[in-house]
């Protein structure tokens, strides 16, 4: 197979972890006879330094011309006036929102999986973890509060800020279909999370999800309020299979769930539109405090690249090869600092990738 892959290294540790993920993709290409062309795309603070804005229209066009895009991380120290002392719509994170909207990436998939070898890294009690958990969080990504109209004004000498949460039934329906389709391939259980006891948008959400459920009789649907879901993720994570929720709730819940895996450095993600195209990225930030130290955990980015292989390129065997290599390395006891028990015996970013490469045959 020949594929054109967009590469957004981004800021902070982004270039370090993306470099390692590219090494894994190249190993896969060599072993399985594929050819991957890499297209460099600027986004985030590095783009501000070059162009004065976090994502130019030209770089967005480059992304659109690719088969898939791999992203490291964007943003950094908010005290950086060059990046954060400018208009909000030009700041690093604004580029990510523009990219999601421009590519119509309405469905974000975040697998939350606890490797057996990392059970001790999970902060939950052993009796809570039980036999582990395997959760898929499906988050609506281009609607809701983050994309609604907003304003800040002054009335009676007091500042008032307004953010608007809007959802149309079509926006809800398309992401719900994605979630139900996933549930049919997993354990057949879907939990839709909302705040229907308070919000009109959530009441519409619940109604549309129930309509979609009629076409998936094999999937068991339940509803849960977001505050209860936040609690249940901690006290009983194994009860979940697929979690479907709106943009802001999904942002918060997936970051909460990442801690259950032992480290946010273990959490991959895929953002999809209605084609095979996807944006693949780790769920962590740019971690400017460890930039250049060579200790960042690349596993979330490597697993994201595995998702890219399977979802956008249809290379399921190759995806499984990467995932198996990662699991084998973890079972061997190899750790980066964030998942090391003593924080002394650990491998660096490149070193743990070397082991993963050695396990791909």
Which of 251, 280, 291, 338 does the annotation list as catalytic? 251
Alpha carbon 299 to chain centroid distance?
Answer: 13
What is the distance between the alpha carbons of residues 334 and 345, in angstroms, rounded to a whole number? 9
Report phi then psi at 334, rounded to 5: -65, 135
What is the distance between the alpha carbons of residues 161 and 153, in angstroms, rounded to a whole number? 6
- Other C-beta atoms lying within 10 Å of the C-beta of residue 336: 20
Catalytic status, residue 350: no
Catalytic status, residue 195: yes
Catalytic status, residue 251: yes
Which of 113, 115, 146, 216 does the annotation list as catalytic? 146
Which of 38, 195, 220, 354 does the annotation list as catalytic? 195
Catalytic status, residue 215: no
Report phi then psi at 29, rounded to 5: -60, -40
Which DSSP helix (H) or strand (E) runs through 118?
Answer: none
Distant-in-sequence, close-in-space partners of 323: CB < 8 Å, separation ≥ 6: 303, 306
CA dihedral 15→21→24→29, nearest 10 degrees, is -90
What is the distance between the alpha carbons of residues 216 and 226, in angstroms, rounded to a whole number? 23
Position of tokens 């190759």? 318
Catalytic status, residue 27: no
Give catalytic residues, as residue numbers: 146, 195, 227, 251, 255
């Amino acid at each position: 197979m020949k594929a054109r892959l967009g590469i957004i290294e981004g800021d902070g540790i982004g270039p370090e972890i993306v470099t390692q993920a590219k090494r894994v993709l190249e190993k896969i290409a060599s072993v399985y006879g594929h050819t991957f062309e890499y297209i460099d795309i600027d986004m985030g603070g590095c783009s501000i330094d070059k162009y004065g804005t976090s994502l130019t229209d030209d770089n967005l066009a480059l992304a659109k011309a690719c088969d898939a895009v791999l992203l490291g991380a964007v943003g950094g120290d908010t005290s950086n006036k060059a990046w954060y002392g400018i208009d909000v719509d030009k700041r690093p994170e604004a580029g990510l929102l523009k990219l999601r909207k421009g590519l119509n990436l309405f469905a974000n998939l975040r697998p939350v999986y606890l490797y057996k070898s990392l059970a001790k890294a999970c902060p939950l009690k052993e009796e809570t973890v039980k036999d582990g958990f395997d959760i898929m969080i499906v988050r609506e990504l281009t609607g809701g509060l983050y994309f609604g109209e907003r304003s800040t004004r002054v009335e009676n000498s007091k500042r008032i800020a307004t953010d608007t949460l809007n959802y149309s039934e079509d926006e809800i329906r398309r992401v719900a279909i994605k979630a139900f389709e996933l549930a049919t391939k997993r354990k057949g259980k879907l939990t839709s999370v909302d705040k229907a006891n308070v919000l009109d948008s959530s009441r519409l959400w619940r109604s549309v999800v129930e309509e979609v459920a009629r076409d998936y009789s094999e999937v068991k649907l339940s509803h849960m309020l977001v505050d209860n879901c936040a609690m249940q993720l901690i006290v009983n994570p194994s009860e979940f299979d697929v979690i479907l929720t709106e943009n802001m709730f999904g942002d918060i819940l997936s970051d909460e769930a990442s801690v259950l895996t032992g480290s946010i450095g273990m959490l991959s993600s895929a953002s999809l539109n209605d084609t095979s195209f996807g944006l693949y990225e780790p769920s962590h930030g740019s971690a400017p405090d460890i930039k250049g130290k060579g200790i960042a955990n690349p596993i979330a980015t490597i697993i994201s690249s595995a998702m890219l292989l399977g979802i956008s390129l249809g290379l399921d065997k190759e995806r499984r090869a990467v995932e198996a290599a990662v699991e084998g390395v973890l079972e061997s006891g190899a750790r980066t600092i964030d998942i090391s028990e003593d924080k002394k015996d650990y491998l660096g970013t490149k070193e743990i990738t070397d082991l993963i490469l050695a396990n791909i045959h």
